[in-house]
Amino acid sequence: MALLDVRDLRTQFFTQDGVVKAVNGISFHVSQGETLGIVGESGCGKSVSVLSVMRLIPQPPGKIVGGEVMFGGRDLLKLSGDEIRQVRGNQIAMIFQDPMTSLNPVLTIGRQIGEALELHLGMKRDDARKRSAELLEMVGIPQAEQRLDDYPHQFSGGMRQRAMIAMGLACSPQLLIADEPTTALDVTIQAQIVELVKRLRDEIGMAVIWITHDLGIVAGLADRVMVMYAGFAVEEAAVKEVYGNPRHPYTIGLLGSLPRLDEIRKDKLESIEGLPPDLIALPKGCPFEARCIYAIEKCKTERPQLEPVGPRHRIACWVDVTKGRRG
């Protein structure tokens, strides 16, 4: 049974220019202890999807207009404000992209971690402080007890992200959502954060949703991958299957644009020509059709749904790319 089961989720933003269709009927699940990678270029709806799951979409202008988010036998979209607050940070935790804007600049690191422990676990302040020091040690911050009284600006970028992870893990959540947590960090710190999350995932046994535009990170971290484009899920499969046998033209394009160390490349890196569609005026057919080298006439008029093309492998495409280019 899935720990989290998202069905036909739709989120829109009502702006002066029109209705932005940010998430368009995506469905996915995460099992206990599993890591799901959600990948795609900027603006494809990755972050909006998980913010919708957490009920953190600003309303207005945003609104979740359809779907179900089943977690622990309850639909999170139907919970009251007090009920969803009991879930957030306690059963489902989230690490955001930029820790400097996510941490409160006028509260100490120890106070910010301890707050969740006091609120959700009913700890007394002294006990919460002691546990906060243990959590900072767990995520690799030296002299943890002394650093509890520091403010966010006194931490480096990598240390702030570690502190965010410590906050996320404070209540031993069943699910950790990481929204591009390594984007603003240099590559050595990125690798340390990824390894840290992998180690803590294995120790605690939690499930992870890792959102990124970096396919290289997902390769060594995720069990399954969902590829998003223009608010749609276009491919979903086990991580080895996505890298070894990509079946959607967009996924093939993403992988073709990755530099590789395990082979000598004689040609230039590939690029995907064109721009993503306007989310206010989505095309009638496949959202990727205008940029797709495999496109056929049907792609312009009918929007494909996710359909199986192998065991635990689904794509939303009218063309079988294994039979050569068409169009």
Give the DSSP letter string of 179-200.
ESTTTTS-HHHHHHHHHHHHHH
Cis peptide bond N-terminal to 60, omega within 30: yes
Measured in degrees and rounded to the nearest 5, phi and psi for residue 307 equal -130, 145
Average pLDDT over residues 248-257: 88
Spatial CB neighbours of 143, under 8 Å, sequence gap ≥ 6: none
Q: Say how many C-beta atoms besides its own lie within 10 A of residue 108's C-beta.
A: 17
Q: What is the mean pLDDT of residues 72-88?
A: 91
Q: What percent of the chain has pLDDT over 90?
A: 49
- Output DSSP code: residue 213: S
Q: Does residue 326 surpass a pLDDT of 60?
A: no
Q: What pLDDT shows up at residue 26?
A: 94
| Of 77 and 203, more confident | 77
By CB atoms closer than 10 A (0-12, 13-18, 19+), residue 85 is: middle
For the cut 50, the answer to whether the pLDDT of residue 262 exceeds it is yes
Per-residue model confidence as pLDDT tens digits over 131-141: 999 989 888 88
Distance CA 45, CA 179 (A): 12
Look-up of token digits 């530099």 = 259
Looking from the CA of 209 toward its CB, the CA atoms found within 13 Å total 29
Distance CA 83, CA 81 (A): 6
CB of 166 closer than 8 Å to CB of 192: no
Binned at pLDDT 50, 70 and 90, residue 201 comes out as confident
Q: Spell out the residues 6+ positions from residue 204 whose beta carbon is closer than 8 angstroms to its own.
A: 169, 172
Stretch 25-34: mean pLDDT, rounded? 93
299, 250 contact by CB (below 8 A):
no
Q: Identify the residue with better confidence: 42 or 314.
A: 314
**pLDDT (mean) for 20-34:** 93
Provide the pLDDT for residue 121: 86
Encoded tokens for 27: 């469905």
CA distances from 169 to 112, 179, 183 (A): 13, 15, 20
- Range 87-93 average pLDDT: 89
Would you state the structure tokens that stand for residue 242, as one six-digit string? 């996505």
Q: How much is the average pLDDT of 100-111?
A: 87
